[in-house]
Structure formats: C-alpha cells, structure tokens
Amino acid sequence: MDKIDAANRICRCRRCGYVFVNPRPTQKEITQFYSRSTQYDPWLAEERGRLALWTRRLKIILSYKHSGRLLDVGTGTGHFLAVAREFFSVHGTEVSSSGVRIAHERYALDVSQGELGSVNLNSKFDVVTLFHVLEHVPSPSTTINLCRGLMNTDGVLLIAVPNDINRLRSVVRRGLASMGLKRYRCPRYHGVSRMRLDGTQHELHLSHFTPSVLRYLLVKNGLRVSAVTLDPYYVGSRVKDEARARRRYLCYLLLHKALGVNMYDTMLVVARPFKGGALGSHSE
C-alpha cells in the first residue's frame, strides 16, 4: 500500500491500483451522515432535472432488460424506482433514514433500510443497479459480491461511479505536477481538504475508481464486463444548463468511442454473471 496523498489520507494498493481513503469512517458514522434531515434537499430541489437523469439511465437498462425484478442499491429517495416501476417490479435498499422516509412519503415505496448485507432479500433479481453508491461503501468488493449473489443467472448489474482519477482535470493536474508547476492532490471532497463528518461537505467518497480497477473487482467476484462507457449523470436546473451539460457529455462520449479513453467525470460499467461459474476476463 502506498500513501499517494498523506494530507487527505488517500492510499493506493500496489497490486491492483485501487485508490481509497485510509482510515475511513465506520458504517455507523456513514449511516448517521447520510441520515441527516437535510441530506436530500438538493435532490428534491432538482426533481425535474433528476427525472430526466433517471429516464436516461432507465433507457440504458432497457437496452439489456425490458422487464423483471429490479433492485436499486443505495436508492436515496427512491425517485429512480418510481420511474423504473413502469417496466419492472422494483425494490431498493438505503442506509439513510431520511431517504427511506422520503421514498415512502413522496413515491409510496417501501425501501429496505440498512446495508445490503444486513437487509433480508428473499428473491433473485434480473437487474441490480448501483448509481454512485460504490464509492461510498466501506468494502466495494464485498458489495459487488453481495450483488452477484442476488442476481439471476442471466441478470445484469449496472454500476456508475465518479471517474476522479482519469477525468481531464485530474490528468492536467498530474501533468502540471510532473513538470513541477503544481503540487498534485488526489480528488478532494467538494472543496474540503480532507473528509469530514461535521456537515461541511455533502458526500463521503471512500474510494476512487478507474475502469481497470472496477473491471478487476467485477471479474474477481464472478462477473464478466459487457460494457464500459460514460454515465450521463448531469442534472440541469434550467433548460439552458441541461443543453450545455448534454453537449459536454456527448463530446466526451465521442472521444471515448473514437479513442477508447474516458476523460469524463463519470463512468458506467455493465456486467453479467459468468456462465457456469467460470472466472476470467471477458468484454463484449
């Protein structure tokens, strides 16, 4: 393990390249942080833009599955489930008590509160989604393995995470640092120099993924990668903002298709269980 940014407690595994915060908060601290009554106020204020976001992501899912049972891990307020239930029988998990409450009151959803490994799910799912959840969990490998165990043999797993390490801004900063023009810092937490639990920041990112590291974790846990692309995560509060964000996304998507390089802010990985339980690297 290498400490690549001691000031922000960020380390990197020498074997696989996984970048993570060490030490990290306990699960109890994480749950309390995301259960604050105001945690999802920005989501509710952006509900119109987020409806467009969930619709974009649902369109991606429908290119793989048109119906069946869908599990959304870390569903937040449940807004995505409310959109997806037109096509799927939906269920969600969420550690935040405020998120669970909003899902019930606003969207008439009964979301299971707790970590994925602690809730009682007595069925298999055709689709499992983790939209910007994996970077928040204490053990990404454990979470992926649990998802694998909840999938049908022909199921589909969709994971969206930030692309903090490879996005254009980070690449430029590393280049400037190599020339001695700027000191390189790993991704920070919304302007805060290191992770805090006092409410001065909105998110806790415990992991920073690259496509190769995420692929490694998926294969390690019995899944084959079907697609690696960009996540259309943008939420415009105005029509003009939405159009600008969409143009930016499409520019990076074209770059990714032309050169196979993702320098956008996010990535989206689609995976399926290995047939017959055989492990190995595979990409469709």
- pLDDT by residue (tens digit) across 221-272? 999 999 999 999 998 778 888 899 999 999 999 999 999 999 899 999 999 9
* 57 φ/ψ angles, rounded to the nearest 5 degrees: -70, -40
| Predicted local confidence at residue 190, as pLDDT | 43
**Cα dihedral 56, 160, 45, 234 sign:** negative
Q: What whole-number distance in Å separates Cα of residue 262 and Cα of residue 256?
A: 5
We report the CATH number of the domain holding residue 68 as: 3.40.50.150
Query: Is 227 inside a domain boundary?
Result: yes
Instruction: Choose between 4 and 274: higher pLDDT.
Output: 274
Q: Is the pLDDT of residue 205 over 60?
A: yes
| Predicted local confidence at residue 280, as pLDDT | 43
Closest CA to 10 of 194, 204, 215, 267: 194
Query: Is 104 inside a domain boundary?
Result: yes
Closest CA to 136 of 14, 16, 1, 21: 21
Q: Quick one: tokens of 94?
A: 């969420």
Query: Is 283 inside a domain boundary?
Result: no
Binning pLDDT at 50, 70 and 90, where does residue 193 land?
very low
Region of 252 (left: φ > 0; alpha: ψ -120 to 50; beta: rest) is alpha
| Predicted local confidence at residue 48, as pLDDT | 87
Q: What whole-number distance in Å separates Cα of residue 236 and Cα of residue 233?
A: 10
| Predicted local confidence at residue 78, as pLDDT | 97
Query: Is 282 inside a domain boundary?
Result: no
DSSP conformation class of 222: T
- Model pLDDT for residues 95-110, shown as the tens digit of each residue: 999 999 999 999 999 9
Binning pLDDT at 50, 70 and 90, where does residue 26 land?
confident
- The answer to whether residues 195 and 203 touch, using CB atoms and an 8 Å cutoff, is no
Query: Is 48 inside a domain boundary?
Result: yes
Q: Quick one: tokens of 52?
A: 């467009």
- The answer to whether residues 222 and 273 touch, using CB atoms and an 8 Å cutoff, is yes
| Predicted local confidence at residue 181, as pLDDT | 60
| Predicted local confidence at residue 282, as pLDDT | 35
| Predicted local confidence at residue 278, as pLDDT | 45
- The answer to whether residues 149 and 124 touch, using CB atoms and an 8 Å cutoff, is no
| Predicted local confidence at residue 3, as pLDDT | 60
What is the pTM (predicted TM-score) of this model?
0.85
* Beta-ladder partners of 3: 11
Closest CA to 84 of 51, 110, 37, 116: 51
Average pLDDT in the 212-220 region?
Answer: 93
Among 30-44, 79-93, 159-173, 208-222, name the most confident range: 79-93
Number of separate domains in the chain: 1
Q: What whole-number distance in Å separates Cα of residue 95 and Cα of residue 122?
A: 19
Query: Is 152 inside a domain boundary?
Result: yes
E-only strand ranges, the chain: 2-5, 10-12, 19-21, 69-73, 89-94, 112-113, 125-131, 151-162, 207-208, 223-229, 266-273
Among 40-49, 112-121, 194-203, name the most confident range: 112-121
Binning pLDDT at 50, 70 and 90, where does residue 56 land?
very high
Closest CA to 204 of 74, 80, 111, 92: 74
Q: Is the pLDDT of residue 192 over 50?
A: no
Query: Is 183 inside a domain boundary?
Result: yes
Query: Is 242 inside a domain boundary?
Result: yes
Q: Is the pLDDT of residue 27 over 70?
A: yes
DSSP conformation class of 43: H
Q: What whole-number distance in Å separates Cα of residue 238 and Cα of residue 180?
A: 40
Give the structural domain span for 176: 2-275
| Predicted local confidence at residue 197, as pLDDT | 47
